Amino acid sequence: MAKICLCMTANTLGRNLEILEKYRKYADMAELRADCLDPDERLLIRRFPEQAGMPVILTIRRDIDGGHFVGGEGARISLMARGLAYAEADRRRNFAYVDIEEDLNISSLEEAARTFGTRIIRSYHNMKGTDADLPVKIRSMRRSGDEIVKVAVMANSTRDVLELLCAGKECEGQEKILVSMGHFGIYSRILSEQFGSFLSYCGALSEPDAFSAAPGQVEVRELANLYRFRNITKATKVYGVTGYPLKATSSPSFFNTVFELEESNAVYVPFPADSITDLMEISKELNVEGLSVTVPYKEAIIPFLDFQSDEVRVIGACNTLTLTPQGWLGTNTDARGFSDSLLTFLNKPNFKRQRVTVIGAGGAARSVVFELHRLGAKVLILNRTVHKARRLAAPYKFAWGGLDEQGIEKMEKYRDIIIQTTSAGMEGINPDNVSSDPTAMYNFCGREEVMDLVYKPKMTAFLKRASNAGCNVQNGYDMLIRQARYQYTQFTGKEFPEHFFSRVQFGEI
């Protein structure tokens, strides 16, 4: 089973030991990054394995490989020799592994390591990109049978991650460590078993003086507790969420908590993707069984479906993919998540006799309008780009308009409920967006029921204004959870375990 390796990047050995003590139960081994140590401390590395009390990798990373060692090669090699010198008969007192770059040819170091049972990790780093000839590289790097090949390459795209994954598969059976660095490669650090990696490097990233030893590292507790890394085997069912840029997502927290409570052998990971085509290839290689699909792929995913629900066909957007014996089934849980949430908020069984304004005409609005129509509402759709409002309204014979004076006037007759579906007001887009309110020209009378699909921040400028005018308001958080419960059922074929609901976490909302 793949191991969790905690990278020790503090500037003193004492501080590294303190950190190791605090996180000991989450780690199987440690990597002493001696290049991060103060110069005086580097002289004392030899005793670290004994003090650490777990297998330790000695690494002295050069700056060209993303490390901090800026001295000459001579100084670096003598430091490495210092780490391997005076080997003890009790192997636990020696470094268990030493990281030697593939272009370093110092046979005396290697001999010393082998004589005393220190295994060699033969490493290659590319901090800029992913090499084209990875399978050849992986095969040729190993100089003797007991070496572990490490290839850590920067993923600038989803295709890069796919290259690494396929290269790993070509070299199955060989002990190796494969890492796609950076945001695109985050799941290569969680699904080490699937990538054929012997370990995953992670960091004590919540410590103020510890930093990520390489781009994209996962925090050690998150790897051990949230993703239950140690339980992941080739038999583990893999699920995930894809989107772009997918910088922050609360879905892994939700699904992994439920899987843990249910004792399911399953994991749910983020799949940031700049190409949905490449991501679907990766899904195939990793035997992914279910995908949540988010911005901007809810429409682009449709050509990849083997069959789809009626909602997907009519709405033209899909947020849930489930692998079935007949291929990918596409469904849309946003629609039901939305109507369940709003009807519960209103304490109504349907939207009959309700006159509703929908702000926006994008993908989210399409699910909302579909449900409003299904459940009997009369609807006005207002959008910044008017022709999109008209196009969305036409099949339902709903009213439409622009987000201008004329459009806002029409709201007079459609204001039992107002639903904001655009990304205006959402955090994480640009600093100005948070203060934006697409209905700024509209004066709330205080009797409207108001919903914003945005849930970060909890109160958008739009919701604040409505609330100050005396309206009942609701954000999109409850909808998010409800659609995720439907996804759970879709993925697993099981009802969502409601008795666990109070214990399920949805990230830092």
Q: Which is nearer to ligand ATR, 228 or 373 (CB)?
A: 373
| Neighbouring C-alpha atoms within 13 Å toward the C-beta of 506 | 15
DSSP 197: -
Residue nearest to ligand ATR (CB): 362
Catalytic residue among 150, 298, 378, 456: 298
Provide the minimum distance between the beta carbon of 438 and ligand ATR in the complex, in angstroms, as a whole number. 4
Q: Is the omega angle on the peptide bond into residue 55 within 30 degrees of 0, that is, cis?
A: no
Read off the amino acid at residue 300: A
**CB within 8 A of 3, min separation 6: which ones?**
28, 29, 198, 199, 200
CB of 455 to ligand ATR, least distance (A): 13
Q: Which is nearer to ligand ATR, 4 or 424 (CB)?
A: 424
Shortest Å, Cβ 420 to ligand ATR: 9
Report DSSP letters for 347-400, one per residue.
T-SS-TT-EEEEE--SHHHHHHHHHHHHTT-EEEEEESSHHHHHHHHGGGT-EE
H or E, element range at 194: helix 192-195
Confirm whether 298 is a catalytic residue: yes
Q: Residue 108 or 385: which CB sits closer to ligand ATR?
A: 385
Q: Are 469 and 447 in contact (CB under 8 A)?
A: no
Alpha-carbon distance of 28 to 9, in angstroms, equals 17
Minimum distance between the CB of residue 500 and ligand ATR, rounded to whole angstroms?
30
Task: Classify 303 as helix, strand or coil.
Answer: helix
Q: What tokens appear for 148 in the block? A: 């572990």
**Cβ 458 to ligand ATR, closest distance in Å?**
18
User: Contact at 8 Å (CB) between 188 and 165?
Assistant: yes
How many CB atoms are closer than 10 A to CB 88? 12
Q: Over the range 384-414, which residues count as b (16 or more CB within 10 Å of their CB) and which as e?
A: bebebbbebbeebebbbbbbeeebbebbeeb
How many CA atoms are closer than 13 Å to the CA of 119, on its beta-carbon side?
Answer: 15
Amino acid at 375: L
Asked if 104 and 62 touch (Cβ cutoff 8 Å), the reply is no
Q: How far apart are the first and last CA of the chain?
A: 33
Q: Which is nearer to ligand ATR, 181 or 392 (CB)?
A: 392
Please state, in angstroms and rounded to a whole number, the distance separating the CA atoms of residues 383 and 404: 9
* Residues making contact with ligand ATR (CB under 6 A): 295, 360-365, 383-385, 388, 421-424, 436, 438
Q: Which of 145, 50, 36 shows the shortest CA–CA distance to 88?
A: 50
Residue 397 Cβ, how far from ligand ATR at the closest point, in Å? 20
Contact predicate 221/168, CB 8 Å: no
State the Cα–Cα distance between residues 306 and 285, nearest whole angstrom. Answer: 18
Is 198 in contact with 3 (CB distance < 8 Å)? Answer: yes
Distance separating alpha carbons of residues 339 and 486, to the nearest angstrom = 13
The catalytic site residues sit at: 298
